[in-house]
Amino acid sequence: MAFSFNPTAQDFHPVGSQSETPELPDLEHASMCDGAEISEVERGGQYAITAYLKENGWESSKGDAHFNKQRRVADEPTEKDARFFYNMMQKMGRDMNKATRAFDLSGVKKPALLDMCMAPGAFLVQILDKYPNAQVRAMSLPLKDGGHQVRLGHHNVAVEFRDITMLAADMSMQIEDVPASGPDPGNLEFAKVFSDSERFDLVLCDGAVRRTHQRTTWREGREATRLTITQLAIGLEHLNNGGTMADSISAKTLVLEWKKKYKVATVGADEEYSKIQKVSNHDAQAALDEFGKEFIVMGRKIWKLQAESLAKASFMKSEHGSQGKGDQSEGIGQKDRF
């Protein structure tokens, strides 16, 4: 069955004021679980509700103020905010492991871990609580460059403060690859920091670009790509999976492809970079044809949670409605997380 996934909220007309929470359909146990065809209502209904609420949220001046405050708290958190987010990330780690067993190292005698963007260290807390003998190599953006504070202290964790997007040699770049006429590449490192034989049983790649990160102008539009590719390429290349993943032909091919994209994103011209970022309609449709059902199954719970959270958010209330007080943190309330 072919999918053309473009649901809209045009037919969604909520009853009552914005301060009321709409009755959301329970699609968690819909026919998809029984292998039946997915109806247009199932495919678009939950997404349409979420899209409607998002659209109204974006148009709200209270929404602008709310997200500006969130960004400020994320960029310059108080000690109370930092503790709140650290504890919240630990809970996320527990939930993620419970759902996926991603942190299960029960079959490994002496686990070796790599955390590409460690700070504050909440995910490692969950792993080390269960596997205290695990050896961890961790990297984190220095505080002086806008990085988060590392809150985890453990004798088995060796933290290196560095900007991993500058690990040019580990991404198979040489100094000769930097064009003389191009922008200053900055502090690209042309000496490897990982040995070719270094392997890890678990690699964490959850780093995201920081607005407070001080970097040269040419990096601004490409930093997210460079950070993601660096984590994936180095992580997969040094992942130990019994010789069946990191040493497979498909994995090696993927690593080489990522490294080529890193080189373009680092020293390539704008036109060349635009080409590697472009995804054609044909590619998107091919992905939907192959994984469309799985996308919807995964998305259904997320859309439902987003819709419920948006409907209860303080900035979605009417001018005369009650305001969500939230809890715990100065900058973000329990009801205002999406």
- What is the predicted pLDDT for the residue at 42? 47
Q: Is the pLDDT of residue 10 over 60?
A: no
Residues 242-256 pLDDT 10s: 422 334 557 888 899
Q: For residue 29, is pLDDT > 60?
A: no
Query: How are strands ordered across the β-sheet holding 157-161?
Result: 157-161, 135-140, 112-115, 202-204
pLDDT band at 50 (very low <50, low <70, confident <90, very high): low
Q: Which amino acid is at 79?
A: E
pLDDT, greater one: 212 or 254: 254
In the chain, % of residues over pLDDT 70: 72
pLDDT higher for 59 or 274? Answer: 274
User: How much of the chain, in percent, has pLDDT values that exceed 90?
Assistant: 28
Residue 19 confidence class, pLDDT cut points 50, 70, 90: very low
Whole-angstrom distance, CA of residue 13 vs CA of residue 20: 13
222 or 10: which leads in pLDDT: 222
Average pLDDT for residues 308-327, to the nearest whole number? 60
**What band does 213 get if pLDDT is binned at 50, 70 and 90?**
confident
User: Is the pTM value of this prediction over 0.85?
Assistant: no
- For the stretch 274-289, pLDDT in tens is 888 887 788 888 888 8
Which residues make Cβ contacts (< 8 Å) with residue 304, sequence separation at least 6? 24, 26, 27, 28, 46
pLDDT value for 13: 35
* Average pLDDT over every residue of 111-115: 93
pLDDT given at position 127: 92
Distance of alpha carbon 116 from alpha carbon 138, whole angstroms: 6
Confidence of residue 52 (pLDDT cuts 50, 70, 90): low
Handedness of CA 78, 75, 99, 231 (dihedral sign): negative
Question: Rounded to a whole number, what is the distance in angstroms from the first to the last CA of the chain?
Answer: 32
Contact 210, 146 (CB under 8 A): yes
Who wins on pLDDT, 71 or 109? 109
Q: Which tokens belong to 256?
A: 């080489």
Domains and CATH numbers, the chain: 109-279 (3.40.50)
Higher model confidence: residue 286 or residue 49? 286
Kindly tell me if the per-residue pLDDT of 115 is higher than 90: yes
**Cα–Cα distances in Å, from 329 out to 79, 121, 176, 196?**
10, 19, 49, 44
> Is residue 136 scored above 90 in pLDDT?
yes
Instruction: Quickly tell me which residue has 């109204």 as its tokens.
Output: 56
pLDDT band at 330 (very low <50, low <70, confident <90, very high): very low
pLDDT tens sequence across 147-184: 878 888 888 999 999 999 999 999 999 999 988 876 66
Look-up of token digits 């809970």: 91
Coil, strand or helix at 151: coil
- Predicted local confidence at residue 329, as pLDDT: 47
Mean pLDDT of the chain: 76
